[in-house]
Structure 1
Amino acid sequence: MYFFLLFSHAVFRWLVLLSLTYALYRGIRGWYNHAAFTATDNTVRHLTATIAHVQLALGYVLYFKSPVIAYFRTNYHEAVRQGDYLFFGLIHILLMTLSVVIITIGSSAAKRAEGDSKKFRTMTILFGIALLIIFIAIPWPFSPLAHRPYLRSF
């Protein structure tokens, strides 16, 4: 089960990045062109938030099943001195949770905003901030904090 969760979490990461990038594209385009906030824009906003929530749920389940986190919790004082354990035990989960909270706020605020320009602006700014945080918190293969492959296999 652990490896299936790990694989699913790794694959779903790309869906989060693609949906956020597409939502940002639609937001920027709509904001600068003073376009109407259409049903498609609303669907993109909603699906992006939903995909982020599913990824966060997968991440939480993985967090509590992970042997890395089990070691981090039982040997905290030793683990915080090691990059991988510190990254996955603390940094990754906090930053990803923060980014999904920002996506949720952005989605909700854009949904309730008065006027199409405000909807696009709100979605663009908050989704952009969340995407920056996500880029920092992803364990890229080139990251100095934690190294993981672009895509895991079974």
Structure 2
Amino acid sequence: MYLTLLPLHSLLRWLVLICLVASIICAYRGWLTKQRFSRFANFLRIMTVNVLQIQFCIGLGLYFLSPLVSYFLNNFKTGIHMREIRFFGMEHITMMVIAVGVISVGSGKINKMTDDRLKYKTMAIWFTVALLIIFSSIPWSFSPLTSRPNFRPF
């Protein structure tokens, strides 16, 4: 199962990023041009949240199946001093939980609002903050800290 979830998680991150960037562009455009909050903007918001939550569930499954995380949890005193083990055992999941929380709270706030400009502003700010958190926590292929391939084959 681990060997299936890992490439799926790696592939799905691109869909998360595409949805998130599209939502942010739509939000800033709507906010700055003072548009009405459109059905399309709401669709992007919901799609982004749903794709992110699916990715998060797959990530949680990986967390409990990963040999790196298992090593980290069973050998905490040594694992905490190993960059790659610490990244996957603690840093990556912590930052992604925060990012999912930021997007979920931001989306929930939008759902309760009636002012269209405020909806766009809220979506722009909360989703941008989450995107920055996500960007800092993905193990990019070019990262000097912990790198992984941009695309993992199945």
TM-score, with length taken from structure 2: 0.98
Deviation at 1:111, TM superposition (A): 1.5
Deviation at 1:114, TM superposition (A): 2.4
For residue 60 of structure 2, what is the aligned residue in structure 1?
A: 60
Return the letter of the residue paired with 2:141: P
Are 2:82 and 1:85 aligned? no
Return the letter of the residue paired with 2:118: K
SS of corresponding position for 1:129: helix
| CA distance in structure 1 between the aligned counterparts of 2:12 and 2:141, rounded to whole angstroms | 17
Deviation string, structure 1 residues 19-54 (Cα, Å, up to 9, x no partner): 000000000000001001011111111110111111
Q: How does 1:1-154 map to 2 (within 5 A)?
A: 1-154=1-154
SS of corresponding position for 2:36: coil
Deviation string, structure 1 residues 91-150 (Cα, Å, up to 9, x no partner): 000000100000001111112112100000000000000000000000011212211000
Q: Which runs of 5+ in 1 are unaligned?
A: none
| CA distance in structure 1 between the aligned counterparts of 2:43 and 2:114, rounded to whole angstroms | 17
| CA distance in structure 1 between the aligned counterparts of 2:110 and 2:29, rounded to whole angstroms | 15
Report how many residues are paired: 154
Deviation at 1:12, TM superposition (A): 0.6
Pairwise CA RMSD? 0.7
Return the letter of the residue paired with 1:15: L
Q: Which runs of 5+ in 2 are unaligned?
A: none
| CA distance in structure 2 between the aligned counterparts of 1:125 and 1:32, rounded to whole angstroms | 12
| CA distance in structure 1 between the aligned counterparts of 2:6 and 2:63, rounded to whole angstroms | 10
> After the TM superposition, which segments of 4 or more aligned residues of structure 1 sit over 4 Å from their partners?
none
SS of corresponding position for 1:141: coil
